[in-house]
């Protein structure tokens, strides 16, 4: 159950951000009562921090994968491989790119008022 809640939190936080997400939204997405969510995770901040830690580890693993692939290659090839792998990862996991946008810009990818 704890893993299902974490996966749902990743999706919902990725879509709505920390402030736009409620624990009720996550509980509803999982199909559980709010008390079950609190039993497994406690406060919303604890769950959010766990999602961030999980994402950090996932990205770290992806970077290690890239490091193995680029050993002994030219700089141009290293950059091409790194960009390809990370773009594939971000397109396959859109909530991750949304997390990055929330952290740095406080907006979602779908927000039309995104200013740079």
Q: Per residue in 22-61, is it b (16+ CB within 10 Å) or e — as a string?
A: ebebbbebbebeeeebeebbeebeebbebbeeebeeebee
Q: What domains lie within the chain, and their CATH numbers? A: 2-105 (1.10.357.10)
- Give residue-wise pLDDT tens across range 1-45: 999 999 999 999 998 988 899 999 999 999 999 999 999 999 999
The span from the CA of 7 to the CA of 4, in Å, is: 5
- Give residue-wise pLDDT tens across range 76-100: 999 999 999 999 999 999 888 888 8
Angle made by CA atoms 92, 90, 77, in degrees to the nearest 5? 110
pLDDT confidence bin for 115, thresholds 50/70/90:
very low
- Give residue-wise pLDDT tens across range 44-82: 999 999 999 999 999 999 999 999 999 999 999 999 999
pLDDT number for residue 28: 97
Q: Decide if 104 contacts 93 (C-beta within 8 A).
A: no
Give the predicted TM-score (pTM) of the model.
0.77
Strands (E), the chain: none
């Amino acid at each position: 159950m704890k893993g299902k809640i974490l996966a749902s939190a990743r999706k919902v936080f990725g879509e709505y951000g920390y402030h736009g997400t409620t624990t009720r939204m996550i509980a509803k997405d999982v199909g559980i009562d709010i008390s079950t969510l609190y039993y497994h995770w406690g406060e919303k901040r604890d769950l959010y921090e766990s999602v961030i830690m999980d994402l950090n580890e996932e990205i770290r693993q992806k970077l290690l994968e890239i490091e193995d692939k680029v050993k002994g290659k030219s700089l141009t090839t290293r950059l091409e491989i790194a960009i390809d792998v990370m773009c594939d990862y971000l397109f396959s996991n859109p909530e991750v790119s949304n997390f990055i946008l929330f952290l740095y810009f406080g907006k979602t990818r779908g927000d039309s008022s995104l200013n740079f």
